[in-house]
Amino acid sequence: MRLTAKPEPIPVTIEAFSIELADVKGASATLNFLWDKMRVPVKLTTDDVEQVSKQLDAVVSAMTPLNPRTAYQAAPFTMTTTRT
């Protein structure tokens, strides 16, 4: 993959090249590449939340019995993706 990103100055010196994941939200995050006095942010997004939500809505709309394990796994997913 190739991408274009704009480096940004930071007020501290980072001795060793580092990669951090920041601003993590339901369907997005920022991948930061840090070195010396620079940061290169790369915005990451996904539509996984939308896709899974549609699947869950389809199961509920179909009125079919829901496997308790599926419901157990869906609950924390829904809680973590609906927070703002």
29 phi and psi angles, rounded to 5 deg: -165, 170
pTM of the model: 0.61
d(CA 79, CA 69) in angstroms, rounded, equals: 16
Query: At residue 83, does pLDDT exceed 90?
Result: no
pLDDT band, very low/low/confident/very high, at 61 (cuts 50, 70, 90): confident
Average pLDDT (63-84) is 71
Pairing of strands 8-25, 28-45: antiparallel
DSSP for residue 58: H
pLDDT at 51 over 90: no
* CA 73 from centre of chain: 18
pLDDT one-digit tens code per residue, 24-47: 887 889 999 999 999 999 999 988
CA neighbours closer than 13 Å in the CB half-sphere of residue 8: 9
